[in-house]
Amino acid sequence: MNVILLGPPGAGKGTQAKLLVEQTGLTHVSSGDLFRAALREGTELGMLAKSYMDRGALVPDEVVIGMVMERIKQPDCAIGVIFDGFPRTIDQAKALKIEMAQHEKAIDAVLYMDVAREVLLRRIAGRQTCKVCGAIFNIYYFPSYKAGICDICGGKLYQRSDDTMETAQRRLDVYFEQTMPLIEHYRGEGNLREIDGRQDIGQVTEGMMQALGIDIAESP
Ligand code: AP5
Ligand code: MG
């Protein structure tokens, strides 16, 4: 199964992707995480991406498409992928469809979450991410037990450099202009499922699992 998580910055794509991976065993592919990993490694790709990310702009299509297509050729993606933050333009969506068709695969569902702009800004302002394991917390909605420390691995929490109010506003504007057309695009393809992203985290996961037609597994 291959699934796209579609929604504005701060909607909960990364949070839900991690929960869906636990439930489904699919592989999480986040274009934003791939860029941040490249930056940590000090690669040219990472430096190039940072120059766009820090302005809240999209990295050019040819760069993103090349990177994600390479990633999905890795063996762990054969089982199926949860795409988070990709595609973000119609050209990216078309490139993904062509690549998947070449391997006799398709996008089975596009889970679209919507959330009001002021809530998105508050979620972004309060987000803290673990430097070590990438777990996502929120000082307002989902705080770690110990301030600044990851509950899961004990790593240090940090705030993303593109999570300033000014950049977050720009990211939202860019989403409305360049990514929202994907909603109608996938509605037209017949695989769009709408989930109410304003609900609490567990309810959103439940809605997604229902939309995928999978029963929620009992926690171990
Ligand atoms: P990317 O890393 O993809 O960021 P984004 O799309 O802006 O989305 P976010 O990661 O900010 O939000 P999210 O939806 O994952 O929310 P989260 O789960 O963290 O992209 C960053 C940049 O990289 C882009 O701006 C661009 O420059 C570049 N880029 C990436 N992909 C690209 C592409 N395809 N093309 C071109 N450029 C690309 O949740 C947010 C917070 O809310 C967290 O604190 C969380 O705990 C909390 N939260 C989550 N769900 C709930 C809930 N239900 N209730 C309360 N709080 C919640
Ligand atoms: Mg994210």
**Digit-coded pLDDT (tens) for 112-169:** 999 999 999 999 999 999 999 999 999 999 999 999 999 999 999 999 999 999 999 9
HSE of 62, CA atoms in CB hemisphere, 13 A: 0
Centre of ligand 2 to C-alpha 219, Å, is: 24
Q: Which residue has the tokens 């508050």?
A: 122
Q: Which of 71, 160, 170, 198 is catalytic?
A: 160
Average pLDDT estimate for 30-34: 97
What CATH class does 3-116+164-211 carry? alpha beta
The answer to whether residue 219 scores a pLDDT higher than 70 is no
Bond before 87 cis per omega within 30 degrees: yes
Average pLDDT, integer, range 37-51:
95
Position in ligand 1 atom list of the atom nearest CA 163: 11
CA triple 90-94-99, angle to 5 deg? 150
For 162, the token pair is 């593109």
Residues of the chain with CATH 3.40.50.300: 3-116+164-211
Catalytic entry in 18, 36, 88, 123? 88
Nearest ligand 1 atom, CA 11: 14
Q: H-helix or E-strand containing 111?
A: strand 109-114
The CA-based dihedral angle spanning residues 27, 192, 67, 129, taken in that order and rounded to the nearest 10 degrees: -60
Do 46 and 39 meet the contact criterion of CB atoms below 8 Å apart? yes
Is 4 a pocket residue for ligand 1 (Cβ < 6 Å)? Answer: no
